[in-house]
Structure 1
Amino acid sequence: MDLRTVMMLLAVGSFLFGLFLLVLKFNVNHPQEVPFWIMAKFSQAVGYFLLYLRVNGYDALSVLANITLILGCAYEAWAVRILTGAEVKRRLHLPVAAGIAAAILAALPLGSPYRGGVVFLLQSVFYLLPGAFLLHGPSGRSLLQRILGFCYLAASGVFLGASLICLAFPSFAVSAAGRPVFAVVPLASFSIFLIGGFILLTLAKERSDRIVAEMRKSLRQSQTRFQRVVETATEGILMFDEDFRITFANEKMASVLGYAIGEMVGRPYESLIPESHIQLVRYQEMQRRLGNDSIYECPLVGKDGKERWFIISATAIVGDSGLFEGSFAMLSDITERREMELALAESNRRLTEMSHTDSLTGIANRRLFDRVLEREYARLLRTKSQLSVILLDLDHFKDYNDEYGHVMGDACLRQIGAVLAECVGRSLDLAARYGGEEFACILPDTGLQASVEMAEKIRRRIAGLNIEHSKSPVAPYVTASFGVITVHHSPNLSPADIVNLADRMLYRAKAAGRNCIESAEWQEEGQAIS
């Protein structure tokens, strides 16, 4: 087999080997790549092909062929180093390429044997390096690695011998150029191509398997750590399938609800939700199906039937295909916080109620009366309706206190307050203790006639109590005088004016002999008509 044929075989073989490595690199299911290896094979293919074209001559194309070929040998050395588990800096090939080019260009002015000697010497170096990488290091090197290492060393020895002959014995090298002694050089190249290619593929497969095994081990360790973290987390954790059935619950979540973990797995999420919040949960499930995450508050029912409140941070799980596959939720128990909030709200409600309630009679006080009157009067501007106010005062109540004492006086006021609370029954109406023995009523959307009828009803009920009042010149029992005013909204009238008008009517009732009712409807002209 002549030299040109060997060069062509090496060129084609290296090119096909490079294509094979490209296929492995872009394998969708199991991508595999060893850095520098593809570049090494394509560089060697180009170098051998250029040498095939210039076997019997030496020109610029021959220089390029030698540079490309030896650079391919260098890249193969780096690839072998990576296969042995070592690292190679990516930028190393730049100074190496410059060094190879400089050495071959420096030998260009020399004679033919010397140029060949420099090329053989460089090839010897770059076959020595992978041999050293494969044989040096831990005793645990595989048999294949050792076989390949010795093959690289043998090839390095062949090229080193050829280099010494060319450099030390140029005349002999020229005369022996066509003899069998130099035929061993392409034979060594072809042998290392065949043996090295097979063993390197095997080593690459072992490296790939080792990487996969390490990834699987790392994944198992990560899963174990994740499971340990999840199981011991201080927050509740639930995982659901696409139908929102529980596929995982950690110990914290199960214990809070009073279940064993096995009792929770497989349960529908909605089975833990009280009826009052089913619609909220179904809305949240719809959001998960759309791939949306959210945080919301919701109660869950425990095994004992009691509700516990949680802040739920829910995350949708979407597969590679974009389809919804389930969801993940972290639940923080806020039952105690919720109870404190409810207790605080109740406390605030009671404080508000106390601030608006007369402590003696239990009906509204002056503060609430003023606020409601202002609100209801402002509402007239929108409704164009009427508003009536009743002001009543117990007749000669100071004499009652002087005769019967303040304890009996307080008891009398409580009975009057109960009468007002019973008579003024609409939710919009308000009965209040205005001060001392004076009481007041606000009757929204009520005309003068209905207001007078309400005042008369209250007057009779007070008289019907038959609370003895021996010092009253009006009657032998407690009575009351009433002033009633009905108004429409006007920019010329304020809530304070309304009270003054009712008080004026009350004064007229007292002047008329007490235990009676005086009323009027306020007109825009400012006159009160009885």
Structure 2
Amino acid sequence: MTTHPETGDDAGVYRTLLESTQAIPWRIDWASARFTYIGPQIERVLGWPQDSWKTVEDWAMRIHAEDRQKTVDFCVSQSQQGTDHEADYRALTADGDYVWIRDVVHVIRRADGSVDCLVGFMFDISERKRAEDKILQLQKELEALSYRDPLTGIANRRMFDRILDVEWGKARALGAPLSLVMVDIDYFKQYNDRYGHPQGDACLKEVARVLDRAAARTRDLCARLGGEEFALVLPATDEAAALAVAARCARRLAQAALPHAGSAVADIVTCSMGVATIVPGSQDQPAGLVEVADTRLYRAKAAGRNRIAGSAG
């Protein structure tokens, strides 16, 4: 294995420059697929002896198994086309760990255009990757928070709108029913006036917990739309099943027995609900379903509250 990339009077100068960098320089002869040079920095970074890097196979087998095939295929393809390229991958260390590497590759071609050799630098980008991963995790956490109601922890209006659109598309494609239950806490202003806003917040949290548990299937969504208004999105659910879910919500809220001395319909916290169901057609829109459920919710409130209104009443 050649220990330096140049010959002649300048060999020592080139070698000193190359070997004083943090990056790891290397050269591969294209015809033989053998390393003709790799910097001694490789041993410090990955632990493999400098003279153990003999062929492209040595490089490939020291790539993490999950990254190996796609990295090798990409680099070979780009090199065959004579295209300079970069590749990020996890390189295995001699002690069984891995280091994130960015390989920057330059293709050297002969006068006739054929590939003569590949030269490049390997950079240890582990710290950068850790920072990037942390940023991505923070972004995911922030995105998750942006879809959550900060008080109750359930989905917010933004998530409700997004999920309703998604489930609407699925229901229309499959010809399946989609149900929506709009929920409003009865006499909540009076509750706040009597017990104070901190207790009102506690009430909202408990109602959210009850509703969320009542909508128990994985795809069911419970969201707080604002104030004391909530909604349940129930995919693949006909009206009878949606009315049963609403009744379960009312029953469990009654079991929670949150005192409400300011209510005109009961001595505990109750809710009014409007239920709407549709098998979406090509001309229908989600806003139409929301409007119907809202209309039925206000019908329930006008009829005396603490009740559920569907298509029949």
The answer to whether TM tops 0.5 is yes
- Name the SS for the 1:310 alignment partner: strand
Larger radius of gyration: 1
Contact 2:82 2:115 in 1 (8 A): no
Amino acid at match of 2:93: G
C-alpha distance in 1 between matches for 2:245 and 2:26: 62
User: Could you list the per-position Cα deviations for residues 1-30 of structure 1 after superposition, in whole angstroms to 9, with x for gaps in the alignment?
Assistant: xxxxxxxxxxxxxxxxxxxxxxxxxxxxxx
Q: Could you tell me which of 327, 330, 335 is aligned with 2:121?
A: 330
C-alpha distance in 2 between matches for 1:246 and 1:424: 62
Task: Answer 1 or 2: which has greater strand percent.
Answer: 2
User: Could you list the per-position Cα deviations for residues 248-286 of structure 1 after superposition, in whole angstroms to 9, with x for gaps in the alignment?
Assistant: 431333323355535666892244322211222342475
Contact 1:428 1:443 in 2 (8 A): yes
Identical pairs, percent: 33
Q: Could you tell me which of 50, 73, 76 is aligned with 1:283?
A: 73
C-alpha distance in 1 between matches for 2:263 and 2:7: 97
TM-superposed CA distance for 1:439, in Å, is 0.5
C-alpha distance in 2 between matches for 1:393 and 1:377: 23
C-alpha distance in 1 between matches for 2:269 and 2:185: 7
Is residue 2:173 matched to residue 1:412?
Answer: no
Partner of 1:398: 189
Is residue 2:24 matched to residue 1:236?
Answer: yes
Contact 1:308 1:335 in 2 (8 A): yes
Contact 2:62 2:92 in 1 (8 A): yes
- Name the SS for the 2:296 alignment partner: helix
Amino acid at match of 1:274: H
User: Could you list the per-position Cα deviations for residues 203-222 of structure 1 after superposition, in whole angstroms to 9, with x for gaps in the alignment?
Assistant: xxxxxxxxxxxxxxx94224
Q: Could you tell me which of 472, 489, 498 is aligned with 2:263?
A: 472
Alpha-carbon spacing, 1:392–1:307, altered in 2? closer, same or farther (3 Å): same
Partner of 1:269: 59
Is residue 2:93 matched to residue 1:302?
Answer: yes
C-alpha distance in 2 between matches for 1:410 and 1:508: 26
Partner of 2:44: 255
TM-superposed CA distance for 1:429, in Å, is 3.0
Task: Answer 1 or 2: which has greater helix percent.
Answer: 1
Partner of 2:310: 519
Q: Relative contact order, CA 8 A, sep 6+: which one is greater?
A: 2
Contact 2:181 2:246 in 1 (8 A): yes
TM-superposed CA distance for 1:349, in Å, is 2.5
Amino acid at match of 1:415: E
Partner of 2:294: 503
User: Relative to structure 2, which stretch is displaced further, 384-393 or 423-432?
Assistant: 423-432
Is residue 2:133 matched to residue 1:345?
Answer: no
TM-superposed CA distance for 1:328, in Å, is 4.3
TM-superposed CA distance for 1:361, in Å, is 0.4
What RMSD, in angstroms, separates the aligned Cα atoms of the two structures?
A: 3.6
C-alpha distance in 1 between matches for 2:240 and 2:78: 62
Gapped regions of structure 2 (runs ≥ 5): 1-5
C-alpha distance in 1 between matches for 2:206 and 2:35: 61
C-alpha distance in 1 between matches for 2:217 and 2:13: 66
Q: Count the aligned residue pairs.
A: 304
User: Could you list the per-position Cα deviations for residues 267-320 of structure 1 after superposition, in whole angstroms to 9, with x for gaps in the alignment?
Assistant: 92244322211222342475489575543221223346543323223467899x
- Name the SS for the 1:220 alignment partner: coil
Alpha-carbon spacing, 1:445–1:401, altered in 2? closer, same or farther (3 Å): same
Gapped regions of structure 1 (runs ≥ 5): 1-217, 521-528
Alpha-carbon spacing, 1:226–1:418, altered in 2? closer, same or farther (3 Å): same
- Name the SS for the 1:477 alignment partner: coil
TM-superposed CA distance for 1:390, in Å, is 0.7
> TM-score of the superposition, structure 2-length normalised?
0.79
